[in-house]
Amino acid sequence: MEKIKLKKNNTIFEAGQKADAVYLILEGEIGIFLPTNNSIEPDFLLGANEIFGEMGIIANTLRTAKATTMTDAHLLRISKNLFNRKLSTCDPFVMGLIRVLVGRLTDLLKKKQIN
């Protein structure tokens, strides 16, 4: 795990990039922008104690959105390997359920982008 400090308007990752980490927001706000969003307003605004970047790791897919700092932010970056090690200690039923939910959410987001 690595603590990182970022200034406002810093892109953390882009849609289509390889998912290599999960982030916990310690302080600040992160905007999540779906690929169809060309505005300055994020589709989702996340704050302290929220996690983002998990979907690509759990589903083993590329990033589906862009994450940008809306304010100065302090984050905890958890590598894909460490996150997967933590998940491996999870009950197999719960892990299966998480993967199903992430898959369904990913499908829903794709449908939203098409419309």
For the chain (115 residues), the mean pLDDT of every run of 10, in chain order, is 96 96 97 91 96 90 94 97 87 87 79 62
d(CA 45, CA 41): 9
Tell me the domain boundaries of the chain: 2-114
Residue 51 three-state SS = strand
The model carries a pTM of 0.84
Per-residue confidence (pLDDT) for residue 67, from 0 to 100: 97
For the segment 48-73, what is each residue's pLDDT rounded down to a tens digit?
A: 999 999 988 888 889 989 999 999 99
Per-residue confidence (pLDDT) for residue 36, from 0 to 100: 86
- Amino acid of residue 76: L
CATH topology for 2-114 is: Jelly Rolls (2.60.120)
Q: Helix, strand, coil shares of the chain as percentages rounded to 5? A: 35, 30, 35
